[in-house]
Amino acid sequence: MMNDINIRPYRSEDRDMLRKLCCDVADRGSPIESLFPDREVAADLLTKYYTDYEPSSTFVAINNDGRMAGYVTGCMDNRRYGLVLFWLIIPAVLIKAFKRGVFFKSEVHRMVVQGMKNWRRLFTWRKTSFHSHQGHVHIGISSDFRGHQVGKRLMEALIEHARQSGIVELAASVHEGNTSACAFFEAMGFEVRERSPMIGIQEGKEGRYVALMFVKTVSSM
Ligand X SMILES: CC(C)(COP(=O)(O)OP(=O)(O)OC[C@H]1O[C@@H](n2cnc3c(N)ncnc32)[C@H](O)[C@@H]1OP(=O)(O)O)[C@@H](O)C(=O)NCCC(=O)NCCS
Residue whose CB is nearest to ligand X in the complex, by number: 151
CA distances from residue 6 to 56, 66, 107 in whole angstroms, order as listed: 17, 10, 39
- Select 167 or 190, whichever has its Cβ closest to ligand X: 190
- In the complex, the smallest distance separating the C-beta of residue 31 from ligand X, rounded to whole angstroms, is 11
- In the complex, the smallest distance separating the C-beta of residue 101 from ligand X, rounded to whole angstroms, is 28
- Select 102 or 137, whichever has its Cβ closest to ligand X: 137
- Select 41 or 213, whichever has its Cβ closest to ligand X: 213
For 205, counting Cβ atoms within 10 Å of its Cβ (0-12 exposed, 13-18 middle, 19+ buried), the class is exposed
- In the complex, the smallest distance separating the C-beta of residue 174 from ligand X, rounded to whole angstroms, is 5
The rounded Cα 187 to chain-centroid distance in angstroms is 18
* End-to-end Cα, the chain, rounded Å: 39
The amino acid that residue 189 corresponds to is: G
Q: Contact residues for ligand X (CB under 6 A)?
A: 25, 28-29, 138-141, 146-152, 172, 174, 178, 180-181, 183-184, 187
- In the complex, the smallest distance separating the C-beta of residue 138 from ligand X, rounded to whole angstroms, is 4
- Select 135 or 140, whichever has its Cβ closest to ligand X: 140
Q: Are 105 and 190 in contact (CB under 8 A)?
A: no
- In the complex, the smallest distance separating the C-beta of residue 152 from ligand X, rounded to whole angstroms, is 3
- Select 100 or 201, whichever has its Cβ closest to ligand X: 201
The β-bridge partners of 61 are 7, 70
| Neighbouring C-beta atoms of residue 135, cutoff 10 Å | 26
Q: Are 134 and 169 in contact (CB under 8 A)?
A: yes
